[in-house]
Structure formats: structure tokens, C-alpha cells
Structure 1
């Protein structure tokens, strides 16, 4: 039995023990974690009653309320104001009417996002295919290549020192045309210019950057065949294996530890501004210096959200030949986290096929155009990894984009269910870009769940209707309507920075399926508004086996709320993404967006690590993380 299963068994037994003699304690034990139960029952703790215009609870026994009582970090009572006061009884309480004109919903959960990637991109000059609404202001989407050049030149003019690197993320050649070294030489011939393309799979550099990094044609001649084929020295363009080969030369240019911390703070404030109270890094960082840098910001007690980090099963299984050692090394990762970061115990991330942004998915039917699918794990490694973690009782989250990739995942799940039956395994299908109707039925039958990125439809359906997938497959991407009708639990994720980590925007994408041109793609695959809200709250918690403490506003659960200007379940569906976010209550702590004292309280601890060591490890992890996404 794994350590995770032992602890779950212990918790279940203790919660039913006879010492919990209070009826209230027995009721609370159904939803509270044992370690926090005592806090809730402290009778002299300060009780705060929040009143609101409306509280959307997602509790089927009480869908709406107008007041909620909080003690310490837990919910004590919920209902009308009179009902809540009656539940509080003769204990002292304080009233808080801050939300009197607001709508309170369960705290938003970022089911799947990458803080490291987000921090690196947020520390760059963002010039991308979509608007980025940052705490420092909105960065509008690029109009065209000319707009990119103009804005990059303006950014170059603002750099304070001649040696400063001009580093930008977000350009997408499929949208704006090819980008080459000569284009960047026009921007500057006296400072390094490095462009990290939107997919995060490619770099383009100017001549000065190539010279400073010591990259020559002679050096490239010593690279592997595939690296040379995936590089173009004349154009300053390096992708896939070429990108890995150029990485050691350019890492210090794009991943400075101090700059990373600045980006991490922007990321932190951005996510809080979107109402996020909890999140998860899937396939957590496997470089201690990089995790230490992340922790220097994200473990701080002033963080407005908690973050969990999932094990990267692919790398662990590749590294250790002994099955037992794979699990032992996985469990050791728990020691890497502290404070507001923690290890996602008993969860692991695996990979099936390749990227949607670069059209490297494995498809049942051929691509339209010159594209082909890739496997992110060889079949024998995938099957071994699945078996190891399945037998250890782990919940397995699997990145998969194409329908042929999904066939592989479901085949493996079925094989292991027959070999070693497990109930409530919650194997999670991640991304869910291209699928077939018959696969939805199979997902249901096998007991799997879905974590989908609805932004693919908004960003890519128009383009992929013309090339790659064709109109029918492009419009049916992310077929969540079928999933919802089948009664399969689904959550929504951003994969930030692959999409904005904005739960209201993700809801808008899933409910409306409006593409970048303004049309509706796959009308029958739209989901209900309540389903979309659950997808960023209760079902997101369910996908991480945390529904007992997060995702709805119920007695005994953590007091995690997102405070909105309007109700996303009743506004015009096309206005969901425009609903304002006041802030959050995170484990009983009320935090308004932009709250000055909260901003000032975050002082990242000095890293004390070698800059080049951090840079190389950070970029290697970044590329490993997005290699299957971009």
C-alpha cells in the first residue's frame, strides 16, 4: 500500500472514531480534513459573517444563499442571514458587509497551469496572438507583423542599458508570417534580440545574439542530424531538437533569476486578479534550483492562493529502471515544497501524443497539409509508467491531444483495469483536443474524467479549418457538449501560458465556442453555464481528489470564495468573460485585487544560486513542460 493510501485509510478510520461525539463534528467530518477539523470547533475563535447579494454554493441541497459564516479557515454556516445567525448561536461574531452588492462563488481553481512558464513569459515583452490583461495593464494582441516590429522597436528603445537583452514571447508565424534573423537585425544590431515563439518550441535570434552566444555554423556542424535539420543558422531560427542544442548557449539571456522573480510576482498578481484561490502544476519541476526559485515567491505566506505540484512520471520512469525505485523517488519529492506550495500526493503526469499548436497530434485520419503526429513517450515506456503508477494506487493524469493518441490512453486504461481492477481511479484525460464520439462513450465506461482546454476552439478552430484538421474536425475540437451529456465529470484548464489563466474566460470559451473570427464552432459542443462554473470550481477540485475540502461553499469546507460583480450563471452568456473580479477570500483571508498592503508584504527571498545553473535548468524544464503543448 502506498504512503498516500495508508494516510487515506488512517483518515477514514479516525473520522469515524467514537471521540467525535459532537453531532456538529460528525457532520463536519464528512467534508473536513482531520487536521483542520479541530480549528473549526474552537468555540472562542473569531467568527465572521459575510452577507452578499447572492452566494452560488454549488451545493445541491442549498444552491443559493445570502450569508456565510467563517471561522478560522473554514465555513461554519451558510444560508440566509437569519439562518446563519441561528447556527452561530450565542457565540460572538462580526458582520462584514463588504460583499453586500457582490456575488460570491466557490474559489476558482486553476486545474492545470505552469507557474514557471508563466513567470518566464510574464518577465518578457509579451507580443502575442491574444490580449493579455495584466496587473500592469492590458497588452493588446498583435495585429500583424508590422505591428510586431513597431512594438518591438518601442520596447528596445526603453531598455536602460546597451547590453540588456530584448526578450519577447508570443509571436506566432502561422498568424503573422515567418520571422527571421534579418527581421530582428532591423530592430537592433548592437544588443541581443531573442524571440520565444508562441508555441514555446522555437527561438529566433538576431545576429548580435548569435555572436554573443558563440553560435556558429561550425558549432552547429557538430550537432546531431535531427538538431541540424531543425535549425536554420541563416535565419537564426532553432526549433525542437535544434532548440535543445542551442539552449545551453542562450539560457543566461532569457532566464535571469532576478528577472524570473519579477515575472513570478506579475504571474501571482495576474492570477489573483482572475479570482484564483488554488492551482496545480502538472508534471512538476524536477530541478531543485528551479523549484527553489519558484518557492521563493510561491511558498511565501502572503500568497493569495495555494499551489500543488504533480510528479513528472515520464522523466522519473525514464530515469529509474527499477519499478519500486520510481515510486520511492516520486515520494521523495514531497520534501521540495513548503508553505503555500505542496506536493500533489498520489498524482502523476504522463504523456501520450504531441502538440496541438504545432499540429503534432496523433490522428486516426491523416492531416490536411504537411503535418504528422508525434508520440511524446515510446509505447513501452508509456505502458510501463502507467502500470507502475496504477499498481501503486496513483491517480494518473495523461496529456493527450489527438484521437489516435486517445485510443492509446484508453487501451492502456482498459488493460490495467482488467489486470488490476480499481474503483474511483479518476484517470484524467488532459487537453482533449481532437476526439471521436465513440471515445466519449468509452471514457464513460472506463470511469475516466476529462480536463479540457476550451481555448483551443477560440484560438485555433478558424485556422485549423483551413489547414491541419479541416472544417469538421476543427469545429468539433474539445467536444465537451458530448462529455456533459454523457454525465462525465469535466474540468476546464488554461495550461498557462498556452491560454490565459482566467477561469471566467475559460467558462466563456466553453459556453459560447466563439472563434477569433466571431463565429460559433460546433454549436452542439457548447456546455451549460453551471457545468462550466463547476469546471473551474467543484469538478476541478474533483479532478485532484480535493472535492471534500474545495470547490463548493458548504459547511466544513475551506473558506475559499471568489467575489464577482455579477453572476456568471445569469448574465448574458457572451458577457461571462467581462464579469468583474473584486478579489477572493482564501482560507478565511479576505484579499482584494490590488490591495496595497498585500502587494507590499511579498518580499521574495534571495535565491543564492548560480545564475547560469538556474537559467539552464529553468529553460530545460520549460521546454520539457511545453514540448507536448505548443
Structure 2
């Protein structure tokens, strides 16, 4: 490397940081370069990891057999001979720990909800599918009668008569309506809260209504939209109605103990799935709650970093002055530290309702003629979009139905024409039901997509019969059309609404196999390499982090996921069965421990069962805004 080193790093003259190549940046950051014209001294030791195969997703060298890491950065990847030649006289060791494994770029959980996962996974789970927890498997509920029996059993086993009972997983489309009167038959004194599988709806018993002071007068003070999406008599609250009631009941939903234990479960589970970076869209707007999250997620021994995107919906609803909205948004950066951070210049908005509760806004009527819901009234949505657009923010938008997508694209186009921006990279999140004509419009407007391919697996069978009909159900999450049009797309799980398992998401996108075993929308399947990009480099692109993570390239963070098999060469049906050895996270080798391996939250799906529900993260933010009384 002496000649290469002098020619590349010294003899060429380093004028400024802006002229450095990625590899020069690595050496400069480690203190290996002296002043211009000086010589290379005190080179730190590098570690060369060899593997059976290394998939880099670097267009310059797509595969490698060795990767050199210095500190928390990648120095080089290529053949072992190439890497050694680049290192030259720099001290190094060769580590063969992964010699029999396959290395891929570190998996990215682009859109997940660790707090919501913590609360649901630590509640009384009575759901439409089995859930495999560290403590054992919680079997699925067969019908409403079994739900009531198991809920009554859980109530009877609580020793403290004042302790609220929180259950999660009930689905009206499977078990029929659930109301206050049903829950009162179980207990008239203990507060009982049933959080629907969709996480967009909650049903309370009378004791919970009383404990939360949810009176008729308070109900009448709800906004018109919130009242329309509530039933005081049935004590049932959904979408904006749930937003309205959550501040009254949040202290029964979230406790410090439940939060911490659930976060630890979520942390171990995500590590076991090979995740090296994650993001919460719609960050928590309660500092005491964020402090509680930071107790787990900010620790230096965390196996991944986690960023938070601001909940723009709540910010705009709170502050009437446009400038104050941005000022208060930027102040949130001080809430994070260590392994957590605020995603810079990014904001989260909401269009229509949830897919799992069939409340998305669709162009053509639902089979039963019911209407969808809006998560934000039009005037609030348009004001929020304009404020953050004009401030140069990247906007991520929860949108599920094709009519919801029309509203989003109309708003995007009007702002582009009013205040043109280059590479705004607006993200259409979830992308459940769309029309073919909308794909070209997405491309023309410069938007990108973050899709949830699990919708097809979990819902296509059921929604072919109820809700959407076969044509719309089978074409959900049309990744194939996006690929043909050249629109960048990535994958997310929305945990706990789908398993935070990148290999499983890949399997869903590649196979589009439903719970009955059939293929839904075969023309929308994508190649395995595209799916891998969807949980790595394209996910990084959607978070404006592709210069830092997402591929194995010189200068990027040393984030690797270590697998037992190559997801690009195995039978596509086997992708979800590939084992994760562990990860390398910014140079730290983190094998999956026996304890972590047991922390599997991936549900076992029964044929035709709805699997995981589309979540509204902002809903939980409102719930958590008052939990400071407990933290």
C-alpha cells in the first residue's frame, strides 16, 4: 500500500474535507492523516472479516469475500487479496468467525413502533393468531365466546382489584361487535380496556369510563370528527375518537413497568431479526415518556440505533403560529441522546384510516357500502403539509386507500407548483390500495413508497370476500408496478402490526403468498435482490441515510447482518426460514444470544386469519402524552 497510499492520500494533496473520497474520510476520521504533504502515521488496527459470501449492494463491487473494518467504519470490501493490498502496512487481523456465513448490509427497520410493541406485547394478548413470546406461545382466539372466557379468566387471576386489565387483539370482523355491556358482564368494578387488533379502536367497560372520567359532557366537547368516530353508549372509540379519549385513559394503558419490560422484549426481538438501525415515524411528544424509552434504547450497549420522526399532526394541532411549529419541532432534538436521535428535517403526517379495520378511504365503495375515515381533516392536513414543505422537510405520509392517495398526491402537486423543490423525497407510507393510474403520477411528482408487503399475506384472502373484493385485495402493495416505473420503494413492518422481521418482509414481497397458500397478484411479485434492497439501501434512502448505511461500501458505518444462507440464491419460499447468526453494529460483533433467540414475536398465522394491523403511531403519542404522571 506504500505507493497506493502516497499517491492516493499524501502525494495528491488533500485540499479540504469536501475533496476526500469515502476511504480518505475513514482514515481522516481515525486520525491517520497528518497535514497536507505529511506522511501517514499511527494507523489503527483493522479487522478483516471473511465470509462464504458477502452481498454488498455496492454497484461498483456487488459481491466480496472479505470486508475490512476500522473502528465503526468500513474501510474496504472485495477479495481478500484486494483488501490486504489496500491495507498495505496498516496493522490488521483476519477474523474467520463468519467464514461459513453470508454477510449482507445491516437490516433497517424503517418504520416500526417500539413503544406500541412494548405495550401490546406486555398486555393480555387475545388475538386472531398465535403469538410466540419469550414466555411461551399465546394461542389465537377462535371466536367471541372464547374471547370472553379467556378475558374473564385473566380478570379473575388479578389479585389487585384496582388494577386495570388491558387486552389487545380483538377483531370485530372475526368475532363480531364488542361493546361496553359485554365487558361489564366480566367486571363492573375493575377497569377493562380492549385494544382492537387494529390499534385504531378501543372498547371500555363502565369502570374504565369512570376511572378515566369519560363523561357525557366530555364526549360532547369532542370535535365533530371525533364524535362521529365514537360511540359513548357502547364506550367504543376509533380513529379520531380514540385520539380524543386517549388522554383520559392513557394511565391505564401505559405504566413504567409495562413500558420497560416491553421495550426490552422488543429490543431483543429486533436484534434476533438482524436489525442494525430502526426508526419511529411520529416520535413521542411526551418528554417523560421519551426519557423512559431512552432508559432502554439510548444505552450504549443497544444492538442498534433508533431515530424518531416528529409527529407533525400533533405539532400543527398544538401551535397556531407556523413559525412556532418549526421552532418547537427543532427543539425536540434535545430529547434524544446516545443511541437515539431525532431524524433531522423529517415529519410524519396522516391521510386516511387503517387497512385492517377497513377504514381507509377508497375510490370505489366497500362491498358492504360503509365509508372510510380520515385521520386528519383536510384543512389541518394541508396546513401541516405546507408548513413543513416550506421549511424544507421531507414528509412521510401514512396513506392506505386510493382515495386517500389522491388527496396526498393532489396536496403534493399543489405545493410543488407553488414552491418547487428538488429531491423532496416525499414518502408514501403503507401503500395498501392504489390504482394503476396513480403509479405514473407518483413517479412524475417525485414521491417514493414505503410499502408493507405483509398486507397481501395477511389480508388478501379475507378482503377478497369482505371489504375490497378480489381484484383490489390481490393488487394491494403493487411493488411490481413501482419497479417497472422506476419508483424507489422500500419495505417496513409497522411492528407490532406486522413482524419486525426483514427476512419475513422479503419473503412476503417476493412470493405474495396468502395464508391459504395461493399467490395474490403474481405480477406484483419482485425479485429477491429488490426485496433485499427494500430492507437495506432503499430503506436508508427513504430516511436520507444512504450515504451512511444500507450497503457495504468504504466510509459507511460498519453495519452488517450475518446470515446462515444467501437470501438471493435460496429457494424464494425459504427466505423467511433463513437463520440470523447476529450482527455487526458499527464494528461491534453482536451474536444472537440464546435469550434473544427465544424472544420471537412472529405470529403463527391460521388460514384466512387477519395477521397484523395497520397502526396509527400518532394515536399512541396522544395516549402517552399524559403518562408523565406515572413516570
| Range of TM-score over shorter length | 0.7 to 0.9
For residues 163-212 of structure 1, the C-alpha deviation after alignment (integer angstroms, 9 at most, x for no partner) is 54432212212123333456556666775443211112323345665565
Separation of aligned partners in 1, 2:242 and 2:426: 32
Displacement of 1:149 = 4.7
Assess if the C-alpha contact under 8 Å between 2:106 and 2:583 holds in 1: yes
Displacement of 1:122 = 2.1
Assess if the C-alpha contact under 8 Å between 1:310 and 1:348 holds in 2: yes
Separation of aligned partners in 2, 1:33 and 1:421: 36
Assess if the C-alpha contact under 8 Å between 1:52 and 1:67 holds in 2: yes
Separation of aligned partners in 1, 2:139 and 2:580: 20
Change (3 A) 1:566 1:159: farther
Long gaps (5+) in structure 2: 1-12, 34-39, 599-617, 626-631
Query: Who is 2:534 aligned against?
Result: 535
Change (3 A) 1:598 1:273: closer
Please report the TM-score for the alignment, with normalisation by the length of structure 2: 0.85
Query: Number of residues paired by the alignment?
Result: 588
Assess if the C-alpha contact under 8 Å between 1:200 and 1:623 holds in 2: no
Query: Who is 1:563 aligned against?
Result: 562
Separation of aligned partners in 1, 2:380 and 2:230: 28
Query: Who is 1:28 aligned against?
Result: 23
Displacement of 1:91 = 2.5
Separation of aligned partners in 1, 2:369 and 2:294: 42
Separation of aligned partners in 2, 1:175 and 1:620: 28
Query: Who is 1:12 aligned against?
Result: none
Separation of aligned partners in 1, 2:222 and 2:238: 13
1:18 and 2:15 matched? yes
Query: Who is 2:95 aligned against?
Result: 96
For residues 281-325 of structure 1, the C-alpha deviation after alignment (integer angstroms, 9 at most, x for no partner) is 112112212211111211111111111111222222233333322
Separation of aligned partners in 1, 2:184 and 2:32: 61
Please report the TM-score for the alignment, with normalisation by the length of structure 1: 0.85
Change (3 A) 1:154 1:310: same
The equivalences for 1:70-469 within 5 A come to: 70-149=69-148, 151-152=150-151, 155=154, 159=158, 161=160, 163-181=162-180, 184=183, 191-206=190-205, 209=208, 237-240=236-239, 243-244=242-243, 246-469=245-468
Change (3 A) 1:422 1:185: closer
Separation of aligned partners in 1, 2:549 and 2:44: 22
1:471 and 2:470 matched? yes
Long gaps (5+) in structure 1: 1-15, 600-616, 625-630
Separation of aligned partners in 2, 1:219 and 1:494: 36
Change (3 A) 1:218 1:332: closer
Change (3 A) 1:596 1:454: closer
For residues 481-508 of structure 1, the C-alpha deviation after alignment (integer angstroms, 9 at most, x for no partner) is 1001111110101111221111111111
Q: Structure 1 residues 457-466 or 228-237, which shifts more?
A: 228-237
Q: Structure 1 residues 36-45 or 142-151, which shifts more?
A: 36-45
Displacement of 1:512 = 1.1
Q: Structure 1 residues 106-115 or 319-328, which shifts more?
A: 319-328
1:578 and 2:573 matched? no
Separation of aligned partners in 1, 2:169 and 2:313: 27
What is the aligned-residue RMSD (CA, Å)? 3.2
Separation of aligned partners in 2, 1:226 and 1:426: 31
Separation of aligned partners in 1, 2:170 and 2:144: 9
Report SS of the residue matched to 1:348: strand
The equivalences for 1:509-528 within 5 A come to: 509-528=508-527
Displacement of 1:461 = 1.6
Change (3 A) 1:598 1:241: closer
Report SS of the residue matched to 2:503: helix
Change (3 A) 1:533 1:261: same
Displacement of 1:570 = 1.4
Assess if the C-alpha contact under 8 Å between 1:317 and 1:326 holds in 2: yes
Assess if the C-alpha contact under 8 Å between 2:284 and 2:624 holds in 1: no
Report SS of the residue matched to 1:66: strand
Query: Who is 2:612 aligned against?
Result: none
Change (3 A) 1:247 1:575: same
Change (3 A) 1:242 1:377: closer
Report SS of the residue matched to 1:98: coil
Change (3 A) 1:208 1:541: same
Query: Who is 1:493 aligned against?
Result: 492
Separation of aligned partners in 2, 1:256 and 1:545: 34
Report SS of the residue matched to 2:348: strand
Q: Structure 1 residues 159-168 or 442-451, which shifts more?
A: 159-168
Assess if the C-alpha contact under 8 Å between 2:352 and 2:376 holds in 1: yes
Query: Who is 1:604 aligned against?
Result: none
Report SS of the residue matched to 1:277: strand
Assess if the C-alpha contact under 8 Å between 1:195 and 1:203 holds in 2: yes
Change (3 A) 1:218 1:19: closer
Displacement of 1:233 = 6.7
Report SS of the residue matched to 2:74: strand
Assess if the C-alpha contact under 8 Å between 1:65 and 1:80 holds in 2: yes
Change (3 A) 1:27 1:166: closer
Separation of aligned partners in 1, 2:381 and 2:206: 41
Assess if the C-alpha contact under 8 Å between 1:290 and 1:618 holds in 2: no
Assess if the C-alpha contact under 8 Å between 2:118 and 2:263 holds in 1: yes
Report SS of the residue matched to 1:283: strand
